[in-house]
Amino acid sequence: MKDEIMDLKPYLPQLSLAERDRRWRAAREQMAAKGIDCLVVWGNTISQGLAMTNVRYLTQVGSWHGGIALFALENEVTLFNAPRHMSLPYNGYLAAQDWVRDIRPYSMKAIIEEIKGRGLERGKIGVVSYGNVVAGNNLTYHDYLALQAGLPQATFTDESDMIEELRRTKSPEEIAMLEKSGAIARKVVETMIRTAAPGVRENELYAAMIHTQVVEGAEPNIFILMSSGPIGENGALRRRLLHGNDQPICPNRRPLEKGDLVICEFHVSFGGYLSAVEFTVAVGEPPRELRDLHAAAVECLQAGVEKCRPGTTVHELAAAFREPAKRRGLDYIELGFHNHGLSSADFPTIVYKPGWGRMAGDGMPDFALEEHMVLGTNIDIHNPHWRADVGVMLGDTLQVTSSGGRRLVGIPLELPVKH
């Protein structure tokens, strides 16, 4: 059967078997130390597919149909992925990667029977779910009840943090994936600058940015939060030019006009590795106040880049990002950073104001940055003494290094103005 499967690997991003073995070895060392016989790693489609993150980390399969990985202390990894009609005559992911060869149609019954078949029905089973400060948690109540009912003599523990901690610091192969993702993201920024112009509809701009992602080899990760509209007075018009909107109110068919602002946040996914960008384009000459805001945002980014070194604590880094805005009396919707890689907004995440909840880092220990962590940055600032409904967005993806944050996208730091 192997010879009959079309080989798609030359046409898709690939991580090496050495990288697979490194991850599997690290996970199994932790499992052995805790006496865990196997992990049931949950993946599904919530949050733009990010809920497949932990499954993808261990299998290199990021299917938007979801999937559950059975990762035992010994023997082969089995992935239960996709409905049966997506698995005949074989599952397409067998042609797309070489990390796992045992891929079967998904069903809770099949997972439970495989655990029993391996003699682990009385074992200690670690459940790995995915969740963060934005997405919630992907393990459903009904699935967990079914797992417990099917394996009444097993002991279950939550081992989600185990895999998230392994993902936190990036290997050289992961950094290479993020470099490629960042290079594509830079081209998407250039497309945004080139395309945004009077008469171009918001949905045409959005589609051009997606087109660039896909033709450059990125996955069709449809995550662009965009807002556009007039900066100046326009009667009783209500606008929200502080942060991008999500689907389905973005994109819309309104044509851009002179005097508009376009702000957005987007991700580019290459091999599942996400680069994060926030960016602003002015259509027509902007007022001085808007230029001043953009200059302040650039200073915030540069201050964060300088401080983004191993040993800096997350609260020190957040303070560095915010000091230029604070000094100018500016306000913000988000101003900080979050962990990036196969996922977004993982620990550590500090983007909100203190007291605004988990995304503010409320109660977070003063965790120190480690070399080769990767952070997405969020700078969404406005001047409340000028306008409470108009601001700028600016952000790049930073690799933590001993010489400061390495910008993996390298967004332009000048405010683009399209006349």
Three-state secondary structure of the chain: CHHHCCCCHHHCCCCCHHHHHHHHHHHHHHHHHHCCCEEEECCCCCCCCHHHHHHHHHHCCCCCCCEEEEEECCCCCEEEECCHHHCCCCCHHHCCCCCCCEEECCCHHHHHHHHHHCCCCCCEEEEECCEECCCEECCCHHHHHHHHHHCCCCEEEECHHHHHHHHHECCHHHHHHHHHHHHHHHHHHHHHHHHCCCCCEHHHHHHHHHHHHHHCCCCCCCCEEEEEEECCCECECCCCECCCECCCCCCCCCECCCCEEEEEEEEEEECCEEEEEEEEEEECCCCHHHHHHHHHHHHHHHHHHHHCCCCCEHHHHHHHHHHHHHHCCCEEEEEEEEEECCCEEEEEEECCCCCCCHHHCCCCCCCECCCCEEEEEEEEEECCCCCCCEEEEEECEEECCCCCCEECCCCCCCCCEEC
Q: Are residues 74 and 92 in the same domain?
A: yes
Q: Are residues 163 and 183 in the same domain?
A: no
Residue 79 near residue 100 (C-beta atoms within 8 A)? yes
306-319 mean pLDDT: 97
Closest residue by Cα to residue 294 from 209, 417, 418: 417
At position 182, the amino acid (one-letter code) is: G
**Each residue of 222-275: pLDDT tens digit?**
899 999 999 987 656 677 899 999 999 999 999 999 999 999 999 999 999 999
Q: Are residues 156 and 49 in the same domain?
A: yes
Q: Are residues 129 and 220 in the same domain?
A: no
For residue 248, cis peptide bond before it (omega within 30 degrees of 0): yes
Q: What is the dihedral of CA 191, 289, 383, 328, to 10 degrees?
A: 110
Q: Are residues 124 and 155 in the same domain?
A: yes
The tokens for 164 are 């998230």
Please determine, for residue 25, whether its predicted confidence score (pLDDT) is greater than 80: yes
**Each residue of 118-143: pLDDT tens digit?**
999 999 999 999 988 877 788 889 99
Q: Which of 120, 144, 168 is the last residue of a domain?
A: 168
Placement of tokens 């996709």 in the chain:
82
Q: What is the bridge-based pairing of β-strands 78-81 and 131-132?
A: unpaired
Please determine, for residue 98, whether its predicted confidence score (pLDDT) is greater than 80: yes
Q: Are residues 223 and 129 in the same domain?
A: no
Q: Which of 168, 195, 221 is the last residue of a domain?
A: 168
Cα 138 from Cα 58, distance rounded (Å): 17
**Each residue of 47-88: pLDDT tens digit?**
777 889 999 999 999 998 889 999 999 889 999 998 889 988
* pLDDT on residue 282: 98
Q: Are residues 212 and 357 in the same domain?
A: yes
Residue 309 or residue 49, greater confidence: 309
Q: Are residues 316 and 297 in the same domain?
A: yes
* pLDDT on residue 1: 43
State the CATH number of the domain containing residue 179: 3.90.230.10
Domain count, the chain: 2
Task: Name residue 19's beta-bridge partners.
Answer: none
Q: Are residues 226 and 302 in the same domain?
A: yes
**CB burial string 321-348: b at 16+ within 10 A, e below:** bbebbeeeebbbbbbbbbbbbbbbbbbb
Q: Identify the domain containing residue 80 by its residue range.
A: 2-168
Q: Are residues 397 and 341 in the same domain?
A: yes
The tokens for 210 are 């997606």
Q: Which of 168, 203, 228 is the last residue of a domain?
A: 168
Cα 292 from Cα 392, distance rounded (Å): 10
Q: Are residues 118 and 9 in the same domain?
A: yes
Placement of tokens 């500016």 in the chain:
330
**Each residue of 365-386: pLDDT tens digit?**
889 999 999 999 999 999 999 9
* pLDDT on residue 235: 57
Average pLDDT, the chain: 94
Residue 27 near residue 163 (C-beta atoms within 8 A)? yes
Residue 399 near residue 337 (C-beta atoms within 8 A)? no
Cα 395 from Cα 407, distance rounded (Å): 10
Please determine, for residue 46, whether its predicted confidence score (pLDDT) is greater than 90: no
What share of the chain has pLDDT > 70, as a percent? 98
pTM: 0.96
Exposure of 225 by Cβ count < 10 A (0-12 exposed, 13-18 middle, 19+ buried)?
Answer: middle
